Amino acid sequence: MRHHEIFIASAFAFATALAPTPSAAHVDVELNFGPPPVRYEPVPPPREGYLWSPGYWDYADHRHIWRKGHWERNRPHEHWTRDGWHEHDGHWGLEHGHWDHDR
């Protein structure tokens, strides 16, 4: 009987390790007002092995702060979700950029 319990526990741990994990994305800031208008930034020429993530308004120290665009090194089998504000029922949430596994 003990071997059977160990087998079940091991199988569960193995299956859990292989299960797809939910996105690490989450709302980092929530406000009842939106960000200022997006600033214009010229997009640099393409760069081999990288993608361009445009600038965005962050929120820190009780104010909006512009974060300049930056390069992200490509990751095999993943895609980049850029930083962005999303409005829902009068509330604004900031989701910071992050990598997600392709499905």
- List pLDDT tens digits, range 59-87: 999 999 999 999 999 999 999 999 999 99
Nearest to 51 by CA among 25, 73, 19, 32: 73
Name the phi and psi angles at 90, rounded to 5: 80, 0
CB 32, CB 92: distance < 8 Å? yes
Nearest to 85 by CA among 61, 63, 56, 65: 56
Quote the CA–CA distance of 68 and 72 in Å, as a whole number: 13
Please state, rounded to an integer, the average pLDDT across all residues of the chain.
Answer: 81
Quote the CA–CA distance of 98 and 95 in Å, as a whole number: 9
pLDDT for residue 9 is more than 70: no
Tokens 């081999």: give the residue: 48
